[in-house]
Amino acid sequence: MSSEEAPGSSESDVTSMSYEDTELTLGLPGEGRSSAVIPALKCSAKRGFIETFDLNLGRCCNTSWGHRHSDKHVNESGAGKPPATKAQAVGWPPVRSYRQKAINESSKLYVKVAVDGAPYLRKVNLEHYSNYQDLMKDLDNLFTCFTIRNSNMEESKLMDVAKGMEYVPTYEDKDGDWMLVGDVPWKMFIECCKRIRLMKSSEAAVLALAPKASTPKCPSPS
Amino acid sequence: MLWVSRKTIKMNYFPDEVLEHMFFFITSHKDRNSVSLVCKSWYKIERYSRQRVFIGNCYSISPERLIARFPGLKSLTLKGKPHFADFNLVPHEWGGFVYPWIEALAKSRIGLEELRLKRMVVSDESLEFLSKSFVNFKSLVLVSCEGFTTDGLAAIAANCRFLRELDLQENEVDDQRGHWLSCFPESCTSLVTLNFACLKGEINLGALERLVVRSPNLKSLRLNHAVPLDTLQKLLMQAPQLVDLGTGSYVDDPSSEAYSKLKSVFQRCKSIRSLSGFFEVAPHCMSAIYPICRNLTFLNLSYAPGLHGNELTKLIQHCRKLQRLWILDCIGDKGLGVVASTCKELQELRVFPSDLGPGNAAMTEEGLVLLSEGCPKLNSLLYFCQQMTNAALITVAKNCPNFIRFRLCILDPVKCDPVTNQPLDEGFGAIVHFCKGLKRLSLTGLLTDQVFNYIGMYAEQLEMLSIAFAGDSDEGMLYVLNGCKKLRKLEIMKSRFGNAALLEDMGKYEAMRSLWMSSCEVTLGGCKTLAEKMPRLSVEIINESEQMEFSHDDRQKVDKMYLYRTLVGHRKDSPAFVCIL
């Protein structure tokens, strides 16, 4: 199997591919494949081809797609996909550059919102709001078991009617510190906010007292 | 098509004016081209009476020959770069310059009124030249073009006294912060279409308002993100007759005065059928739009990632007459279910990715199946998704046999059917088998030569085929070239096709517009052979890497090859990294 060849070797083009063609194999190890030989043969030859092919691509086309492959051992198992890489190879995915730019620009101000006790996080785009009130209203909508107690930002707490707990909106800024939402002007806030956490009041009291926040028990970033 | 029976061979007894009058009713390019082939006198009458010409590849013909053949030309459509240029596969300096066309037209006596360009390089100089050369110039449409700034737009605004249409779609424009909108003179009252949604910079809002006030014929207005909601409200007050609206930034406090005015003005805009924009969107402001939703036929939310979940589905539930929908994959499979149960008239759907990483696409085969069950009129699809199954594709093909365009993009490009671990050959085979009118197809997923066998066998109407990461051998490409008689454009990247396929039937390429192959198995030698044997093809090798001495090693694989038929030989404006064999 051409997987024995060193990734990125310059001989790994013509000869290894024809070797693959004649090789009988039911597929790369570690995969649950159907027992039909011919499709499996084609699938595995195909898979090997992609990986070898991308090794070549890594050399001559300088795509990060190819480079990623050449760093990994070719004998890869995994149901039909190349090693997961978030790098965008040239030409892939086929999205117009105009739209790609729009996607990249618009994700700038998306921040995760975590609520203590909630099973999952949400994401909001801070660009959509013009002030703190709008943000709080939307957070209220997203986490529907809570309601905003009052709109006065000095006492911005969310009241969980069912559980009788209070929540304080906090955020992590660019320096990694956990801050209370509402202190700085809105425009400044959206520039420096990296994520939001609705913290139980009991824990928030600790935050208010300490001069510099120690790492709170926030949900680990996924 | 004009029916010509034996009896009408005597038509040369008809005076030319009668024929010309008849040809007036023949408007499609294809039909006009057919008419011109009937006989010499028809050719002559047709060419003098032709007003609209479409040129799919600007290098296939020269402006001089165009002008010589069609002296009555009023409207010209030109396309420049190959389609894969959209995905950064073609360097910016490759070509597709419009300037020589404008120059040649300006020198002639052509009374150009309309210019529509796609994927061309348009300089400010060309725009200025254009604006000063044609007294009756009425309509400029630029799609996916680049090379110009707002200064060029200022020249168009200032000099084209009878401008009706300025339509900029997804162009890369350098914003010079000049006040191009203010360059429309007070006397300019003829605007029907104004679309500047793709501009990135600030807009003189006062100038915009005044322009809209003095444009009673304005039917289509698409704003850019710099136009806020309260300006939108003021504009709509002045232009309740709009048919096509693109909002700017759609964010405000729902309790604001501007927003409540907007709500009431939307109720008066009874003509809006097409809605887009929403570059920033406040979901709680969407209810203002509900009154116009019931009449919408086109809705484009593909630049609005902030709209998702319940707010999105609520909006769609108001759009019962929708025919075309462009959205982001935040809609999810369930959301497509809502579309399927609401939008029974739907013909075209485009679902774009909101995140380009391979693990993050939100759609699966389920959404597509739901859609096909609810929308049998579907004929055009662009679908970015995480996975697809053969079973789903077969179901979709049977539910929607009317597909003309079918473009599926699985973000992980070689993913097989996750249920059966098989390639997606059977699924796409069903698409081409059941959808007998299919003209355009884009494939992704794990695919072997078998899918191309199906395509060659069944896709009789196929005109454009896009392939990436597919096939096992030259057989695949040969199935397509031999089977698809109407194929015009074939574009292939990262697939295992080589010289044998390329060279088997070289004459075929003269019946096609173009062939693109990148990161395939074709070698320099193969391309040279082709170029030698086919003088009416232009075979371009585009090579950007440093080992670019155009080595004389014929065995070297070619990075990118683009070939196209041409009547005017090799182009003279190619940059250093392009070698025309």
For the stretch A172-196, pLDDT in tens is 888 888 888 888 888 888 888 888 9
Question: Please, are residues B495 and B468 in contact by the beta-carbon 8 Å criterion?
Answer: yes
Determine the Cα angle at B285 with ends B281 and B291, to 5°.
115
Which of B81, B83, B84, B86 to mutate to probe the A interface, most A CBs <10 Å? B86
List of chain B residues whose C-beta atoms are within 8 Å of the C-beta of residue A46: 414, 423, 446, 448, 472
Please count the residues of chain A. 222
Question: Please, are residues A130 and B228 in contact by the beta-carbon 8 Å criterion?
Answer: no
The pLDDT score that the predictor gives to residue B17 is 86
Please report the sign of the dihedral spanned by the C-alpha atoms of residue B212, residue B214, residue B216, residue B220. negative
The pLDDT score that the predictor gives to residue B472 is 92
List of chain B residues whose C-beta atoms are within 8 Å of the C-beta of residue A80: 414-416, 418, 421, 446
Looking at B358-514, list the stretches that DSSP marks H as alpha helix, in order from N- to C-terminal side: 365-374, 390-399, 425-434, 449-458, 474-483, 499-504
Could you tell me which of B292, B278, B285 has the C-alpha nearest to residue B240? B292
The closest CB to that of A80, out of B252, B357, B446, belongs to B446
Domains of chain A, start order: 104-207 (3.10.20.90)
Spatial CB neighbours of B524, under 8 Å, sequence gap ≥ 6: B541, B550, B551, B553, B554, B555, B556, B557, B558
**What does the longest C-alpha to C-alpha distance in chain A come to?**
74
CA–CA separation, B335 vs B343, rounded Å? 12
Half-sphere exposure at residue A151, Cβ-oriented, CA atoms within 13 angstroms: 7
Closest alpha carbon within chain A to B494: A53
A136 to chain B, any CB pair closer than 8 A? The answer is no
Q: At residue A5, does pLDDT exceed 80?
A: no
> pLDDT tier at A58 (50, 70, 90 boundaries)?
very low
CA–CA separation, B96 vs B113, rounded Å? 21
List of chain B residues whose C-beta atoms are within 8 Å of the C-beta of residue A79: 416, 418, 421
Predicted confidence (pLDDT) per residue in A93-121, tens digit = 899 988 988 887 766 677 888 888 887 78
CA–CA separation, B175 vs B55, rounded Å? 29
Q: Which of residues 525-564 of B touch A (CB under 8 A)?
A: 545, 547, 557, 559
Could you tell me which of B174, B224, B175 has the C-alpha nearest to residue B195? B224
Question: Please, are residues B384 and B440 in contact by the beta-carbon 8 Å criterion?
Answer: no
- Along the 581 residues of chain B, how does pLDDT read in single tens digits? 556 555 555 555 778 888 889 888 998 998 999 999 998 888 988 898 899 999 999 999 999 999 999 999 999 999 999 999 999 999 888 999 999 999 999 999 899 999 999 999 999 999 999 999 999 999 999 999 999 999 999 999 999 999 999 999 999 998 877 689 999 999 999 999 999 999 988 899 999 999 999 999 999 999 999 999 999 999 999 999 999 999 999 988 888 899 999 999 999 999 999 999 998 888 889 999 999 999 999 999 999 988 878 889 999 999 999 999 999 998 999 999 999 999 999 999 999 998 776 555 689 999 999 999 999 999 999 999 999 999 999 999 999 999 999 999 998 889 999 999 999 999 999 999 999 999 999 999 999 999 999 999 999 999 999 999 998 999 999 999 999 999 999 999 999 999 999 999 999 999 999 999 999 999 999 999 999 999 999 999 998 765 555 667 888 899 999 999 999 999 999 998 898 98
CA–CA separation, B288 vs B284, rounded Å? 9
CA–CA separation, B330 vs B273, rounded Å? 24
For residue A141 the two structure tokens come to 């909508």
Question: B560-565 and B514-518 as β-strands: parallel, antiparallel, unpaired?
Answer: antiparallel
Closest alpha carbon within chain B to A81: B415
Determine the Cα angle at A138 with ends B261 and A143, to 5°.
150
The pLDDT score that the predictor gives to residue B554 is 86
Half-sphere exposure at residue B197, Cβ-oriented, CA atoms within 13 angstroms: 29
Q: Which of residues 155-174 of B touch A (CB under 8 A)?
A: 170-172
Q: How many CB atoms lie within 10 A of CB B139?
A: 20
Could you tell me which of B492, B427, B505 has the C-alpha nearest to residue B464? B492
The predicted model gives A54-79 an average pLDDT of: 34
List Cα–Cα distances, B130 to B139, B269, B294, in angstroms. 11, 35, 41
Closest alpha carbon within chain A to B86: A96
CA terminus-to-terminus distance, chain A: 37
Q: What is the DSSP letter of A148?
A: E
Identify residue A40 by its one-letter amino acid code: A
For residue B354 the two structure tokens come to 């909101």
List of chain B residues whose C-beta atoms are within 8 Å of the C-beta of residue A103: 305, 353-356
CA–CA separation, B163 vs B161, rounded Å? 6
CB pairs under 8 A between A and B: 148
List Cα–Cα distances, B60 to B488, B563, B569, in angstroms. 14, 11, 8
Half-sphere exposure at residue B91, Cβ-oriented, CA atoms within 13 angstroms: 14
The closest CB to that of A82, out of B354, B359, B414, belongs to B414
The closest CB to that of B198, out of A49, A98, A127, belongs to A98
B281 to chain A, any CB pair closer than 8 A? The answer is yes
CA–CA separation, B573 vs A189, rounded Å? 51
Min Cα distance B430 → chain A (Å) is 18
B261 to chain A, any CB pair closer than 8 A? The answer is no
CA–CA separation, B343 vs B350, rounded Å? 14
Domains of chain B, start order: 13-50 (1.20.1280.50), 56-218 (3.80.10.10)
The closest CB to that of A128, out of B282, B469, B493, belongs to B282
Question: B537-542 and B560-565 as β-strands: parallel, antiparallel, unpaired?
Answer: antiparallel
Is there a contact between B306 and A127 if contact means CB atoms under 8 Å apart?
Answer: yes
**Angle B16-24/B40-49 helices, nearest 10 degrees?**
60
The pLDDT score that the predictor gives to residue B359 is 56
Is there a contact between A49 and B496 if contact means CB atoms under 8 Å apart?
Answer: yes
Is there a contact between A80 and B545 if contact means CB atoms under 8 Å apart?
Answer: no
Q: How many CB atoms lie within 10 A of CB A64?
A: 14
A93 prior amide bond cis, ω within 30 = yes
CA–CA separation, B227 vs B262, rounded Å? 14
List of chain A residues whose C-beta atoms are within 8 Å of the C-beta of residue B144: 96, 98
Which of A34, A68, A77, A95 to mutate to probe the B interface, most B CBs <10 Å? A95
Closest alpha carbon within chain B to A133: B253
**Higher-confidence position of B170 and A82:** B170
Predicted confidence (pLDDT) per residue in A116-133, tens digit = 888 778 878 787 777 888
pTM exceeding 0.90: no
Is there a contact between B412 and A95 if contact means CB atoms under 8 Å apart?
Answer: no
Q: Which of residues 86-115 of A touch B (CB under 8 A)?
A: 86, 88, 90-100, 102-103, 106-107
Spatial CB neighbours of B20, under 8 Å, sequence gap ≥ 6: B45, B48, B49
B538 strand-pairing partners: B564
> pLDDT tier at A217 (50, 70, 90 boundaries)?
very low
Q: Residues B574, B576, B580, B581: what is their CA dihedral angle, to the nearest 10 degrees?
A: 160
Determine the Cα angle at B478 with ends B473 and B479, to 5°.
100
